[in-house]
Amino acid sequence: MNITCIKVVHLYLNIKLDKMKLKQIVYLLFLSGIILSCIPEKKEPKFNHFVEQFSDVKVLRYKIPGFEELTLKEKSLVYYLTQAGLAGRDIMWDQNYKHNLQIREALENINANFTGDRETDDFIAFKVYLKRVWFSNGIHHHYSNDKIKPGFTRNYFETELLLKSNTAIAPEVIAVLFNDEDAKKVNKKEGVDNILSSAINFYGSDITDKDVTDFYKTAYKGPKGTPIEAGLNSKLVRENGVLVEKVWKSGGMYGAAIDQIIGWLEKAQGVAENNNQAKALGLLIEYYKTGSLDVWDQYCIAWVSSTEGNIDWINGFIEVYNDPKGYRGSYETIVEIKDFDMSRKMAVLSENAQWFEDNSPLDPAHKKDTVVGVSYKTVHVAGEAGDSSPSTPIGVNLPNNNWIRQQHGSKSVSLGNITAAYNNAGGSGRLKEFAFDEEEIRLEEKYGQIADKLHTALHEVIGHASGVINDGIGQPKETLQNYASTMEEGRADLVGLYYLMDPKIQELGLTDNWEALGKAAYNGYIRNGLITQLIRIELGNDLEEDHMVNRQWVAAWSFEQGMKDNVIERVTKEGKTFFKVNDYAKLRAIFGRLLKETQRIKSEGDFDAAKALVEGYGVKVDQAIHAEVIARNKQFTAAPYSGFVNPVLETVLDVAGNITDITVTQPKNFEEQMLFYSKHYNFLGKKN
């Protein structure tokens, strides 16, 4: 406090309250204002989103805006749902690869008990390997699906790390860490047996593509017109020469972890915000107890119909990207708190969903007459597990069952605090390196973030909800097979791209300049699809991850289609390659034509056309451009992949053991959280 403030305080204290007159009271109030102005404001320390970086990974943290404003009951619901999610964490590890849990236990034992020199290059390489395995929920890269290569030798592993930590691990498992066996977690390439060549633990080791196809020709598919998601929650194996499903349920495969999930969900049901939430949670519990996919559909209907309340969740075996045949769902949970302000702003997309469907460039026969119940919210994540953690999506649209979406609608959410963390932790160096000119940079810096948010919203709300499958045509996983996921993601991307450059976006109040927004979005999509996403894969590799593949086939097909009119120009400047959009209106028309064709492929189940599009434009990489991109990117130290630690929710109890509050803290580092999870949520054995 400065000298003037001290004098004022002295004068203030010397006014005799028992002799005050009106003027003195007024003066006293005046002095009170001065004193308060002298007290320094408490500034909240700037939140540090960065945790650490290793290999090709950057680990971040996120805040939970609005958590403190929740009631105790709402906080308790969030807590129980996050605990339910974490209870199933090890399911994802085992799904990713049959030896993952055994490998993780061994690596963590080495980390805790190694008595050798921890300052050598080999041990430092071991620590990096351990963190990469933690980040990927197993020994295969979370994005490329390639087996992660240790930066140390097998001899060092066996003679130093294992011996000097008293760690035991099966010889065949040691071998797989260093050899070429099980090299791909998911292999969707043409010309190979996709099941046999994938290490994902969804099938017995002797199961083939033909086995899967034949099994699901006769397997139970649910009532006519309302099919279940066959195979979603089971492992297909051969027992005594017969194919059978080992169902993931209480008393079945993964039962020990599922029983823990059920216990926490029952607690959550007890503090549900309303009857609809309680009903949905009850059906989710019944599903985990029975394994019935008919009950799962009942749950999905109840969940998508439960739109009131401040808390929501995603929980179950959901996305099928990790199954080369598109049947089995990876375990995933996200716990969400509504972002009231952004949800109000973005609700206009849901309210106008029918307009977007009616005005889309689809064949009229492939449009929905009525778009039902598309709800869109921006939410703040309070906790994630399984397939959503540490690497997380930024937007989700569920449920996945097409007939439920058509008859009961869907929920689309944008993960607001996750997007904010990405944006606050990023830099502009790569943009300036790979953007063609100052105008492209200016547009990206001014409209890039809102363009990304709107593209995600349009992708999830309008894209995934758009279009119909012709009568008598099976589900895409049956008709389009290993191309189903990338085709669906590309189709939803194209819906977003088509409408990002439409005056309707400005009319709805979502931007102040639809044309500039559209240009920024188109520049960014072409730049990423043809150039910048290549920094994520090793030189010489093809694209394999569904989203990367779809971005390239959309961008490459559009580039080829526009060559005659020079819509997108490949430019060499100072020895560097760029792709410059010259005619945005014509590019929009190209996106529209591709969207129409992509929807036709889905509606008619045209496998050959899907194969031609994906294999012809989405998989193979221009090796000269790839080598150039890798070289240009070497100047940047920021890792190409990001993920998150989760905030830690802790209960405050009274003497009777009742919850009086729930606090939020941040883990000190990535390792601390991973070890805490292994200690407290390890409910499965090493073999399942």
Profile the chain (688 residues) by mean pLDDT over runs of 10 residues.
42 41 44 47 74 96 94 98 98 98 98 98 98 98 95 98 97 97 95 96 97 96 94 97 98 98 98 98 98 98 95 97 96 94 80 95 95 83 98 92 92 90 79 96 94 92 92 91 95 97 96 97 97 92 93 98 96 96 98 98 97 97 95 90 97 96 97 98 93
Give the amino acid at 4. T
- Distance between CA 556 and CA 560 in Å, rounded? 6
- Distance between CA 535 and CA 641 in Å, rounded? 10
- The distance from CA 57 to its chain's CA centroid, rounded to whole angstroms, is 15
Structure tokens of 239? 């027992």
CA distances from 241 to 172, 204, 211, 218 (A): 25, 12, 12, 17
Contact between residue 152 and residue 174 where contact means Cβ atoms under 8 Å apart: no
In-domain check, residue 682: no
- Distance between CA 106 and CA 122 in Å, rounded? 17
Question: Sign of torsion, CA 619 620 622 624?
Answer: positive
Non-local CB neighbours of 362 within 8 Å, separated by 6+ positions: 466, 467, 595, 596, 599
Residue 274, Cβ neighbours under 10 Å: how many? 10
**In this structure, are strands 234-239 and 242-247 parallel, antiparallel, or unpaired?**
antiparallel
SS3 breakdown of the chain: % helix, strand, coil, rounded to 5?
50, 15, 35
Range of the domain at 20: 3-38
Structure tokens of 193? 């047996």
Question: Sign of torsion, CA 195 207 331 681?
Answer: negative
Question: On the CB side of 605, how many CA atoms lie within 13 Å of its CA?
Answer: 12
- The distance from CA 346 to its chain's CA centroid, rounded to whole angstroms, is 20
In-domain check, residue 85: no
Measured CA angle at 518 (ends 624, 399), to 5 deg: 90
Contact between residue 236 and residue 203 where contact means Cβ atoms under 8 Å apart: yes
Non-local CB neighbours of 536 within 8 Å, separated by 6+ positions: 56, 143, 144, 548, 640, 641
Amino acid 43: pLDDT? 57
In-domain check, residue 349: yes
- Exposure string (b/e) for 590-613, b if CB count within 10 Å is 16 or more? bbbebbbbbbbbbbbbbbebbbeb
E strand or H helix at 577: strand 576-581
In-domain check, residue 65: no
Q: Which of the listed residues 627, 642, 657 is the one where a domain comes to its end?
A: 642
In-domain check, residue 261: no
**Residues linked to residue 580 through DSSP beta bridges, in sequence order:** 569
Non-local CB neighbours of 30 within 8 Å, separated by 6+ positions: none
- Nearest alpha-carbon partner for 622 in 547, 546, 559: 559
E strand or H helix at 334: strand 331-338
Q: At 60, phi and psi to the nearest 5?
A: -120, 175
Q: Which of the listed residues 607, 623, 642 is the one where a domain comes to its end?
A: 642
| Residue that has been written with the tokens 């997007």 in this structure | 419
Contact between residue 184 and residue 256 where contact means Cβ atoms under 8 Å apart: no
Residue 287, Cβ neighbours under 10 Å: how many? 25
Structure tokens of 215? 């099994």
pTM: predicted TM-score of the whole model, two decimal places: 0.81
Question: Sign of torsion, CA 191 193 195 198?
Answer: negative
- Nearest alpha-carbon partner for 130 in 155, 113, 105, 164: 105
Structure tokens of 244? 């059978």
| Residue that has been written with the tokens 């029918």 in this structure | 354
Looking at the structure of the chain, the number of domains it has is 2
**Residues linked to residue 380 through DSSP beta bridges, in sequence order:** 337
**Residues linked to residue 342 through DSSP beta bridges, in sequence order:** none
- Exposure string (b/e) for 447-469, b if CB count within 10 Å is 16 or more? bbbebbbbbbbbbbbbbbbbbbb
Measured CA angle at 532 (ends 530, 533), to 5 deg: 85
In-domain check, residue 205: no
Query: Residue 481 has what DSSP assignment?
Result: G
Non-local CB neighbours of 237 within 8 Å, separated by 6+ positions: 203, 204, 207, 243, 244, 245, 246
**Residues linked to residue 569 through DSSP beta bridges, in sequence order:** 580
Structure tokens of 645? 């630690």
Measured CA angle at 125 (ends 124, 128), to 5 deg: 90
Question: On the CB side of 283, how many CA atoms lie within 13 Å of its CA?
Answer: 19
Contact between residue 52 and residue 644 where contact means Cβ atoms under 8 Å apart: no
Structure tokens of 240? 């005594």
Measured CA angle at 581 (ends 578, 585), to 5 deg: 170
CA distances from 162 to 110, 111, 138, 341, 514 (A): 7, 10, 19, 54, 60
Amino acid 637: pLDDT? 83
In-domain check, residue 316: no
User: 13: helix, coil or strand?
Assistant: helix
In-domain check, residue 412: yes
- Distance between CA 679 and CA 659 in Å, rounded? 23
- Distance between CA 317 and CA 501 in Å, rounded? 36
**Backbone dihedral region for residue 21 (phi beyond 0: left; psi -120 to 50: alpha; all else: beta):** beta
- Distance between CA 523 and CA 528 in Å, rounded? 8
Amino acid 412: pLDDT? 87
Amino acid 638: pLDDT? 83
